[in-house]
Structure 1
Amino acid sequence: MSGDTCLCPASGAKPKLGGFKGGGLGNKYVQLNVGGSLYYTTVRALTRHDTMLKAMFSGRMEVLTDKEGWILIDRCGKHFGTILNYLRDDTIVLPQNRQEIKELMAEAKYYLIQGLVNMCQSALQDNKDSYQPVCNIPIITSLKEEERLIESSTKPVVKLLYNRSNNKYSYTSNSDDHLLKNIELFDKLSLRFNGRVLFIKDVIGDEICCWSFYGQGRKLAEVCCTSIVYATEKKQTKVEFPEARIYEETLNVLLYETPRVPDNSLLEATSRNRSQASPSEDEETLELRDRVRRIHVKRYSTYDDRQLGHQSSHRD
């Protein structure tokens, strides 16, 4: 099971100090609160290696717990999921960022995970003389590559698809200017949020100009900036620049910076009985998980009585 996290609610109760009796509980799930991030994992994963975590969960060290049973660890939880993956699999894919490798190595030293410390030291030594750009923006080469980038990203994802050659008709007078403004805004957002959001360019897709927003591997929203308009008995392609909507959706994906919340099967194994949950709670959870918004800017301009400035908004 992966080290899934969510924000930890504040608790006014004082933590309790006690020993953890871990004998014979290899497959039992435990709840960890690491610096405000919550993790579920098994005792077996925590005790596979001779580390400080093994000492904590084999009864050799006392542990702090709150009134809800969360075991408290006073460390930053940013890299704890990576540490759990190493404890399970004996290997991980290290971050590309040199600073993040240093942060991970500091946590590995604290938990006395020597194998992970060695991995980090080796990576830092190999990259000692190399310089990594601060802002990397991948340009996808295939749909499969795009899917892998989005699924593997630990950050929210913003993708801009623009391909001017997809047009079957002539463009309206302002379309080229609006297309350029969309690209310029993408570059500005990339510089502003490059450490928090993965920005991707797509120049091979089937749309002319379309923004897509992803969080935790799921598409959250889409802003399509093109429509077909009619003028002088001739179809034309119109490109919009919905700047406010793009800013809004970019800020929305920042809500998904924290890692994934635990799935239902894990919640059933580690929290209260599912039968005790109210029907309204289940419905709200499913609705939140399945909701994907689609915003399509679409306007018509004709010489007849067709409505001007019509905008349709589709929400699934």
Structure 2
Amino acid sequence: MCEYESFLLRSICHIILSLVAPGRDVRRESGELGSAGSYNTDHVLQGLQPQFKDTMLKAMFSGRMEVLTDSEGWILIDRCGKHFGTILNYLRDGAVPLPDSRRETEELLAEAKYYLVQGLADECTAALQNKETYEPLCKVPLMTSSKEEQRLIATSKRPTVKLLYNRSNNKYSYTSNSDDNMLKNIELFDKLSLRFNGRVLFIKDVIGDEICCWSFYGQGRKIAEVCCTSIVYATEKKQTKVEFPEARIYEETLNILLYEAHDGRGPDNALLEATGGAAGRPNHLDDDDRVRKIHVKRPDDRTHHHQ
């Protein structure tokens, strides 16, 4: 027990008497109350607040409960003093603000039950019921920096799918269907997040250098990338075209599931090798060479080079 807790718990008699009469010489009288002196403890206890009734502290100071004292007659309580002040404030005022933290509320509830302060215990129980937390069905982190993204992908035990969409990177006007296709990419990402949220980590990036791009990660490194934008020419003017390669996105999402850990043993290397995954590729390849990059292009895209 730390020195602060020891002091707090040994000073219980001071505070108990201060609940009755703040103007009284509590140090002189608390020695009598805390020891086996001739002070009339019943007189003191009758003046306490109603919430003090039937508590362990009342039993201790009324003589109905055997207590442990030190050489000076102080009553010792072998209990953590973290929430002791809150207990005493409740006994004096009849109400206290409860902690915001669920954990601290649970700790205070345990102390209230130990000291048999039923009113405070009921308030803590009601507060915990109101604070009942539910794990969200689907969490999708929104990246704020490249370092955060790298750390999240590197530490994830699940394969990762990232959608980067950042319209501010566009320097040109969009083709007629680009806005609709951008929304379709975002909607598909949301649907996949709900469908595979327990097996795949989905993250959104709105600060990257691309306009619309999907990235797929397994075992902490990028496995594939699907870029949905290209520059096309219409009436001799550059425009940004956003595609919605739905089938390719589904294919790469299913491929990334090959990197899913099974029973805590990691991905099946034999399956990865059979399907051309990381285990079946030469180790001497650079990271860029091992990334399967798909840049969507349509046959009707007319790309020209200005001299």
Larger Rg: 2
Give the structure with the higher percent helix: 2
Give the structure with the higher percent strand: 1
- TM-score normalised by length of structure 2: 0.48
